[in-house]
Amino acid sequence: MEIRWLEDFIALARTRHFSRAADEQHVTQPTFSRRIKLLEEEMGVTLINRQTLPLSLTPAGEEFLTLCEQVTERVRLTRERVRAISAGQQRRIMVAAPQSLLAHFLPEWLAQQGWQERVQPYLRATGWVASDYFQALARAECDLAICYWPVGRCDLDIDTSSSTYRVIGQERLIPVTGLTSDGSPCTQLPGTRQQPVPWLAYPKRGLLGSAVKAHLARLPHTTYLTAQSENLYAAGIKELVLLGYGMSWLPERNVASELASGQLVRAGDSRWDVPMELRLYRHHQHHHAELDSLWSELPPLRP
């Protein structure tokens, strides 16, 4: 259970309206409704009476609301005390990033910039989807967020209007596959209608999944794929590819050592590569001296 779920419930109890409460919490209504449902599942009871207009709380919901208000107030006061204790000390900048970038990009990049003592990875973010990073920036849960971003046109349902960014690196999603017992590739693109390529996919509406889909749509020929599974994590997909369950598009940094050792091979040539930017985002309205100083040291965004 997360504190933001409790804050969601308080907002819903106050507005008695899913859409207005979602707006207050800076999330889409489907995301907000899903989080309320997860909260009810976690508690094991129905907290909201959805049959009334406006919405009302069940007796269990009324009792739970009191607890939510007490817990969130305690957290707020504790946060203020902790910040007061650390006042006058140099503040470390919290940066959120996907697990793959925490492992294969962030340490080297921080070392290149000389920022190891100024920037701290926010480890709670490793399981987030792309939209979670921007919601966390809006809540000031983290100071910065590093995200993959498609270079080509791609329709993404992500609101970035409250943030600004700098491009800090480049990446490619490259098609890779494992080897059969005789050392040949398990599969190769583009496949055929009769024998589609087994594909270990990202979630369809996720950022990486959308980027792959958009790139394939731009190619002049048809790609025949059959999805075997969906996984949010590149590391999990890579393990399945290594075991021979199919192919996938993985960040080149993540598979460099396996390609060099021959454990993985390309499942297609460079036309299948999906170019990506690595973007560093911050919220427009959140400022403190350390963050502003670091941001000023980054190269400006090219027009």
Tens-digit pLDDT profile for residues 214-246: 999 999 999 999 999 999 889 999 999 999 999
- Residue 86 pLDDT > 70, yes or no? no
- Residue 42 pLDDT > 70, yes or no? yes
- Residue 65 pLDDT > 60, yes or no? yes
112: its two tokens:
């290149």
- Residue 251 pLDDT > 60, yes or no? yes
- Residue 177 pLDDT > 70, yes or no? yes
Write down the pLDDT at residue 124: 85
The stretch 158-179 carries a mean pLDDT of 95
The stretch 42-59 carries a mean pLDDT of 90
Count the Cβ atoms, other than its own, within 10 Å of residue 276.
23
- Residue 174 pLDDT > 70, yes or no? yes
Q: Return the SS3 of 116.
A: coil
Write down the pLDDT at residue 196: 97
pLDDT: which is higher, 89 or 263: 263
pLDDT band, residue 157 (cuts 50/70/90): confident
Omega of the bond leading into 275 within 30 degrees of 0 (cis):
no
12: its two tokens:
């819903």
Q: What's the chain's length in residues?
A: 303
Write down the pLDDT at residue 303: 52
Weakest mean pLDDT among 208-222, 245-259, 284-298: 284-298
- Residue 150 pLDDT > 90, yes or no? yes
Residues of the chain with pLDDT > 70: what percent? 96
- Domains, the chain, in order of start with CATH, read 3-85 (1.10.10.10), 93-170+277-296 (3.40.190.10), 172-275 (3.40.190.10)
Omega of the bond leading into 54 within 30 degrees of 0 (cis):
yes
**Residue ranges of the alpha helices (H) in the chain?**
3-15, 18-24, 29-43, 59-85, 99-104, 106-113, 130-138, 207-218, 234-242, 252-261, 289-296
Write down the pLDDT at residue 204: 82
Q: What angle do CA 228, 233, 235 make, to 5 degrees?
A: 95
What is the Rg, in whole angstroms, of the alpha carbon atoms belonging to the chain? Answer: 22
Weakest mean pLDDT among 12-26, 78-92, 102-116, 172-186: 78-92
Average pLDDT, the chain: 91
- Residue 40 pLDDT > 80, yes or no? yes
